[in-house]
A and B are shown apart, each in its own frame.
Chain A
Amino acid sequence: MSTAAPPAAAPAATPASRRRSLAGTLARRLRDTVVVLFLVLVVIFVIGHVVGDPVRSFASPDATDEQLAQLRSAMGLDRPFHEQFLGFLGDVARLDMGMSLWQQRPAMDAVTEVLANTVVLAVAGLIAAALFGVVGGVLAGSRPGTWVDRVVSTLSVISTSVANFWVGLLLIVVFAVYLRLVPTSGWYTWSSLLLPAVTLGFAHGGRICQVVRAVVLAEMTKPYVLAATSRGLPWRRLVANHALRNSGTTVVTTVGWEFARMFGGSIFPIEVVFAWPGLGPLMTTAAGRHDFPIVAAAVLVTGVLVIVVNAVVDLVGHLMDRRLGTGTAAEVPR
């Protein structure tokens, strides 16, 4: 959550790295993706089998040591670690994360069932975040020092300073409990989507806003803007056609990176707040019941989502970069 800076897509903005071929980028990106995925699997395995003890969740609390040992060998947990890890990788390849004791069915089924709900909320939140971030950032960055800038900048600092799930609770109190405009929680009508999406949008829009403001501001102080103004180009067209367009790559990569960050954690507390039937409530309930398979399956699925979104954003940034021929994705200011 705290990792503020986007994963530097290209190490340095040297002319050589700017002109890297698409095939080369694809290959590099694929390799990085595989490495990260492998690391995620290693962490899941280590937490499950080394830090935790799978037998504990199956056996009754008063089982004797002998019974525990029997169960251990029946589950193959007395084999050497590398064998167990290979077995685990095999299971993952078959999308088999084990049986959920709580739900009495394969853990992966429980996860895939609610995955779509989480994605729906994330997309709605992304739209809200992009609206707040891009519109606010452009307005603030193109008119620095005005009251618009001050309001937008204050909002964006607040957005990065508050616990985002708490914003959700605040909205529930105001709009659902006191004003009774929308349902408090769950997913019954499409209006249920409104508050969680706004919460998510506010949580992520702030950072987008700060980045967009910075790039637009930097763009607006360039000499060509002065030249265009002196030739009488309307301010509105200057901002829309020139400043915004030239900062397009940065804007797109920042928005995409915030999308990945949602799956990296911020969306789940918000889902819990609004009782949104997604991965968040499933994971926390499962964790509370020590149902490791479901949490592991959920972590794997969201981990893959984060990795895929990151990779796609990186590629899109690269493609846009080539078309525009300006800056690189790595030049995102904090």
Chain B
Amino acid sequence: MTPTSTTTTTTTTTARRPFAALRGRLWWLWAGVLAVVLLWAVTGDLLAPYDPMAQSPQDRLLPPGARTDAGLHLLGTDQLGRDLFSQIIGGARLTVVIALSATLIALAIGTVIGLCAGFYGGAVDRITMRLSEAQTAMPMFLFAILLVAAVGPSVTNLILLLPALGWPTVARVVRAETQRLRASPFVLGAVALGASDRQLLVTHVLRNLAPQIGVLFVIELGQLVLAEAGLSFLGAGVQEPDVTWGLLIASGRDYLAVAWWLTILPGLFLAATVLASNMLLRERERRTVA
């Protein structure tokens, strides 16, 4: 180590706060987690060490790190001898697809409603905001179970229902931002120059909302991943033979006493994904404040 003044300062800080050097750089780790999950979602089980569906009765319920003739089972095997790590990689796709489409729908609905409410005000504002309040007070999660009782579970139901959980938050944030932008000098200037409502909404308001919508996207994605897991766990979401992480947790539950890895590990991947998005948000917040 060269004893320059800079290194000395770094070492003293590191001595006092062991993780100080990592702070501000940790976001690479979280971004990496999200990137891996997205990669798995795109490639499906191509990157999996085994065929996620291949059963092997003599290799049932092997603990993580077990070796068989086929090779290493990094995260162990399930009750049918299927490789858990491969199932987690294979399950990433549907987990991401459901959460992603539900989030995009929620963002679209919330943004349109929030824009109109914030831009036009008056009756539009009152009605839509009352609606979003009512929506927050309604047990949407239970309606999902009700829907299952009426027509049975399906991925389509899930994608159509999950946005209902997410849009009120989006609408409220977009509305507040729209109101702020609507009153800002450059929008007033555009009005004075005779811009049409459409120009104002799209060019001047919506474009400036992009950062907020980006943040909302990450927030909603995390929340809807968890909501999907909860519904699938209750049998109100994805059904076998489709696989999501929530469903993996549910199907491993029967073997909790003998094979903890079947429930705990998929949940760990789920937690890491949502945690990664939340930590990225915090990092962004810290930077905007600083």
A residues apposed to B, CB below 8 Å: 1-5, 7-8, 11, 32, 35-36, 39-40, 43-44, 47-48, 51-52, 157-158, 160-166, 169-170, 172-173, 177, 184, 260, 263-266, 268-269, 272-273, 280, 283-284, 286-288, 290-292, 294-296, 298-299, 302-303, 306-307, 310
Contact = CB atoms under 8 A, between A and B. Distances in A.
A182 to B, nearest CB: 14
Interface stretch (B3-11, B61-69, B165-173, B194-202): B165-173
B223 interface: yes
B1 interface: no
Given A3-B165, A35-B134, A165-B249, 19 more contacts: A1-B141, A2-B165, A3-B136, A3-B166, A5-B172, A36-B137, A43-B143, A47-B150, A48-B150, A51-B150, A157-B278, A158-B271, A158-B275, A162-B226, A170-B267, A266-B230, A283-B142, A292-B146, A295-B146
A302 B139 contact: yes
Nearest to B275: A161
Contacts of B152: 290
**5 pairs of A and B residues whose beta carbons are closest in the complex:** A52-B150, A265-B141, A2-B223, A166-B267, A161-B275
Contacts of B264: 166, 169-170, 173
A51 B146 CA distance: 11
A8 B249 contact: no
Contacts of B38: none
B227 A161 contact: no
Contact of B222 (A5, A161, A284, A292): A161
Given A1-B227, A172-B256, A160 B278 contact: yes
B135 to A, nearest CB: 8
Interface of B: 129-130, 133-143, 145-152, 165-166, 168-169, 172, 219-220, 222-224, 226-227, 229-230, 233-236, 246, 249, 253, 256-257, 260, 263-264, 267, 270-271, 274-275, 278-279, 282
Given A40-B138, A264-B141, A184 B249 contact: no
B253 A169 contact: yes
A51 B161 CA distance: 13
A166 B135 CA distance: 27
Contacts of B165: 1-3
Contacts, number: 188
A268 B234 contact: yes
A166 B271 contact: yes
Contacts of A263: 139
Contacts of B274: 161-162
A44 B146 CA distance: 8
A272 B236 CA distance: 13
Contacts of A296: 146, 149
